Amino acid sequence: MPKGADSFIKKITQEAGAAVLKRFGKDGVHYMKSEHRSDAVTKADLLADKIITSRIKARYPSHGIISEESGKSDTEAEYVWIIDPIDGTLNFSLGVPLFGVMVCLTRKRTVIMSAIYLPTSNEMFFAKAGKGTFLNGKRIRTSQVPSLEHTIGACGMSLVSKQMKFLNNILAVAKKKKGVVLGTLGSMAISACYVASGRRDWMTTFAGQMHDFAPVSLILKEAGCTVTNSKGRPWKLDDLEIVAANPSLHKELLKLTKNV
């Protein structure tokens, strides 16, 4: 583990989040990366990216970086940082206070440390492999609800084919088991942190990029979630989908994702 990485990752994530918060309510869309509204970029995204990447390059010049906004460098290095400067940019640009700054560190393509800072609520979620997940320094655990009935889930907002099939499957379950509630929060960071802290019971997402999934994977796992792809295999860096919940709920979710 790089010397001082624990405090460093939290410091740069919070620093970027503080800078982003100052622009909240002021920044609209700066430009679009595609025609999809979720591909919006604001000046705050670029500012956060600059803060995080410049700090990493100065502190750990031999490390690689994968960032949503500034791209990739030295990705074959032993240690690679993966960054989403603002996860939930569409929310941010519309004045919706549900977004987060996400940074994680990988070693040989395994996530070993992750920090997600939610600026509007001043909440720092931090996880280290084998050491647990913490919210502002206090250990947290995911929901222990044993079955899907009366659960609240978080789904991805992109209605890709897999997502649609899953929604159809869970709606069929909801007809039999009353009280299943699901929705989208518009941010992977928010969804994962809420599941890790028990504010939501489970999450499934079937669209996104590495920078969306890598930071949340460890936050969820270290909070007690089983974290896999839709086929039930342990989540890996190349998996652009995620199914996460406590072990009992996860088994039920996999029955609904098996054929998506």
Q: How confident is the model at residue 167 (pLDDT cuts 50, 70, 90)?
A: low
The overall average pLDDT reported for the chain is 90
For range 136-156, the mean pLDDT: 90
When comparing pLDDT for 168 and 251, which is higher?
Answer: 251
> Across residues 214-222, what is the average pLDDT?
98
The third-level CATH classification (topology) of the domain covering 5-140 is Fructose-1,6-Bisphosphatase; Chain A, domain 1 (3.30.540)
CA-CA distance, 189 to 215, in Å (whole number)?
Answer: 8
Confidence at residue 29, expressed as pLDDT on a 0 to 100 scale: 74
The tokens for 225 are 């979630």
Percent of the chain past pLDDT 90, that is, above it, reads 72
CA 172/CA 174 separation, integer angstroms: 5
Looking at per-residue pLDDT, the higher value among 170 and 243 belongs to: 243
Predicted pLDDT at 3: 87
The sheet carrying 226-228 orders its strands as 181-183, 152-155, 202-205, 242-245, 226-228
Domain ranges of the chain: 5-140, 152-257
**How large is the average pLDDT for residues 43-72?**
96
What is the rounded average pLDDT of the residues 143-158?
83
CA distance linking residue 42 with residue 32, whole number of Å = 9
Split at pLDDT 50, 70, 90, the class of 31 is low
Residue 124's pLDDT band (boundaries 50, 70, 90)? very high
User: What is the 3 state secondary structure string of 51-71?
Assistant: HHHHHHHHHCCCCEEEECCCE
Strand arrangement of the beta sheet that strand 110-118 belongs to:
71-73, 64-67, 79-87, 100-107, 110-118, 123-128, 132-135, 138-140
How many angstroms separate the Cα of 32 from the Cα of each of 40, 82, 104, 159?
5, 21, 25, 19
Q: Determine the pLDDT at residue 184.
A: 77
Burial class (CB in 10 A: 0-12, 13-18, 19+), 248: middle
Q: What is the pTM of this model?
A: 0.90
- CATH domain 152-257 topology: D-Maltodextrin-Binding Protein; domain 2 (3.40.190)
Paired tokens of 62: 């031999």
